């Protein structure tokens, strides 16, 4: 596994009480030296993917989420590359911890693209699939983080971390080939 990272968005004590636990899957889809990302009206980039439904396997959830968010059909899922765990205070319920584990997989999509099937919040954020150079996605997200805007989505920290890990991995592969 390339990475296993814990992000504590705010320091939370396990003694707070209940935990709102969520699992998600996210696709790392690279083609022609570009990566498929979801771009929002907030101008940030995130990986296609999202929450798993009860009894849903990782592969099923990833195929569903990639198609819903990007319109592309995920035709192959390769190995899991990493895990990111996020912990924070729950934004909606006092005295509760929000904990999400995101599992990242290398995946491939077909050239066929259908229409997106966005959740209401995704539509409100104007989710659009975009093939982008990894370094451009990193630089874009870092500028947003550096802006200090307190209303940025928490996912930008997670996704920027993963983008950097992937970029480092690709750089290592190319160095070994030389």
pLDDT tens, residue by residue, 46-103 = 999 999 999 999 999 999 999 999 999 999 999 899 999 998 887 778 888 889 999 9
Number of domains in the chain: 1
The pLDDT value given to residue 69: 98
The pLDDT value given to residue 177: 64
Tell me how far CA of residue 119 lies from CA of 68, 100, 127, 128, in angstroms.
Answer: 8, 19, 10, 13
**Helix/strand/coil (H/E/C) assignment for every residue in the chain:** CCEEEEEECCCCCHHHCEEEEEEEEEEECEECCEEEEEECCCCCEECCEEECCCCCCHHHHHHHHHHHHHCEEEEEEEEEEEEEEEEEECCCCCCEEEEEEEEEEEEEEEEEECCCCCCHHHHHCCCEEEEECHHHHHHHHHHHHHCCCCCCCCHHHHHHHHHHHHHHHHHHHHHHHC
The pLDDT value given to residue 12: 66
Query: Binning pLDDT at 50, 70 and 90, where does residue 117 land?
Result: very high
Residues 6+ apart with CB under 8 A from 126: 40, 41
Instruction: State the Cα–Cα distance between residues 72 and 116, nearest whole angstrom.
Output: 8
Closest CA to 25 of 50, 53, 55, 57: 50
Q: What is the CATH number of the domain that holds 170?
A: 3.90.79.10
Per the structure, the complete domain to which residue 167 belongs is given by 3-177
């Amino acid at each position: 596994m390339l990475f296993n990272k814990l992000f504590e968005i705010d320091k939370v004590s396990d003694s707070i009480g209940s935990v709102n636990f969520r699992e998600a899957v996210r696709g790392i889809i690279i083609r022609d030296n570009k990566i498929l990302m979801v771009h929002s009206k907030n101008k940030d980039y995130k990986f296609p993917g999202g929450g798993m439904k009860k009894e849903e396997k990782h592969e099923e959830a990833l195929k569903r989420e990639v198609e819903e968010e990007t319109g592309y059909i995920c035709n192959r899922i390769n190995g899991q590359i990493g895990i990111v765990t996020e912990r924070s205070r729950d934004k909606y319920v006092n005295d509760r911890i929000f904990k999400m584990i995101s599992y990242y997989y290398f995946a491939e999509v077909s050239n066929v693209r259908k229409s997106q099937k966005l959740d209401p919040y995704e539509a409100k954020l104007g989710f659009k699939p975009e093939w982008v150079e990894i370094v451009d996605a990193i630089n874009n997200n870092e500028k947003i983080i550096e802006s200090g805007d307190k209303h940025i989505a928490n996912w930008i920290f997670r996704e920027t971390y993963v983008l950097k890990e992937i970029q480092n991995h690709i750089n290592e592969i190319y160095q070994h080939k030389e």
